[in-house]
Amino acid sequence: MKFNNAYVTLVYDAVGKSKADTKQVDMYEGFRTGLDAYTNEDIRWPDVPGMKERYAEFADTVSKLVMRIMRALGHGMKLKDKDYFCEAHSLMNQKGNISVLKSIKYMPVVDGDPDSENRIGEHTDITTLSFLFQDQMGGLQVRDVSNNLVDVVPVEGAIVVNVGEVMQEWSGKRLRATRHRVVPPTDPVKQKQNRRCVGYFAQANGKIVMRKLEFEDGNADSDEGTDVEPLTVDQFMTKGLKRYFPELEDLES
């Protein structure tokens, strides 16, 4: 296992490693998997029976859901090429695509330590779409269109889907990236407990160039596009990741 690099297949994020809003250290630990972690026999997983198989199965299931949503988006947004988003995600859970399945544990609040209340600072994800499977502890908040923070109350069996920065940029800001954060629950008993969440951070294939999308009804004046020196998905993501993980400063775009 290799640490401190976003582009590896298995990554352990220690508590305090990320600064989502740059002002505070985030109090969670995470385990990220992606690329060919599920199929490459040379990659060593933690010695936990069934772990690799469970992750692989879940990543595969969620990637199928991602495809359904991408297909719906292509139709709903009236893209000229309705399958464009699907084709752009064709390599999920394989080399060439850095979609990530991540299990996250937020730490309990410690009396007298205000820093322990920083579960994760306000940010937007550098994804196309993010799928969050949260437990019943609460604490996730999103900004609504009026810029108010709203609690995302856990609903059994529900998946939270956030738009990420890649989709925002790509869609000419027709879709807006969801600003969100995690704070401790108000219940003092729950504050002393871990909060667990599983996230699937969907990403388009790295070599895709984020050219302005073409819509059936043409592009509106209000569209803000990336048609001036468009970046590849990899380049866009690398720029964004450096904001959250300062130790990646030397990572090449």
Nearest residue relative to Fe ion (C-beta): 125
Q: Per CB under 5 A, which region of 64-72, 123-131, 190-198, 226-234 contacts Fe ion?
A: 123-131
59's enclosing H/E stretch is helix 51-76
Nearer to Fe ion, 30 or 172 (CB): 30
Q: Does 13 bind Fe ion (CB under 5 A)?
A: no
Q: Per CB under 5 A, which region of 119-127, 138-146, 187-195, 214-222 contacts Fe ion?
A: 119-127
Question: Could you tell me whether strands 195-202 and 100-106 are parallel, antiparallel, or unpaired per DSSP bridges?
Answer: antiparallel
Report the nearest approach of Fe ion to the CB of residue 33 (Å).
Answer: 17
Which 198-217 positions form the footprint of Fe ion (CB under 5 A)? Answer: none
d(CA 57, CA 72): 23
Nearer to Fe ion, 74 or 165 (CB): 165
C-alpha distances out from residue 72 to 65, 214, 234, Å? 11, 16, 24
Indicate the SS3 state at residue 250. coil
Residue whose C-alpha is closest to residue 204's, from 116, 126, 111, 113: 126
Nearer to Fe ion, 125 or 165 (CB): 125
Q: Per CB under 5 A, which region of 42-50, 71-79, 117-125, 140-148 contacts Fe ion?
A: 117-125
The secondary structure of the chain in percent helix, strand, coil, rounded to multiples of 5, reads: 25, 20, 55
Q: Which amino acid is at 214?
A: E
Q: Per CB under 5 A, which region of 111-119, 120-128, 204-212, 213-221 contacts Fe ion?
A: 120-128
Nearer to Fe ion, 74 or 164 (CB): 164
Report the nearest approach of Fe ion to the CB of residue 107 (Å).
Answer: 17
d(CA 207, CA 73): 21
Q: Which residues contact 253 (CB under 8 A, 6 or more apart)?
A: 234, 235, 238, 239
Question: Contact with Fe ion (CB under 5 A): which of 125, 165, 169, 234?
Answer: 125
Binding mask 151-170 for Fe ion (x = CB under 5 A): --------------------
Q: Which amino acid is at 21?
A: D
| Residues of this chain that bind Fe ion (CB under 5 A) | 125
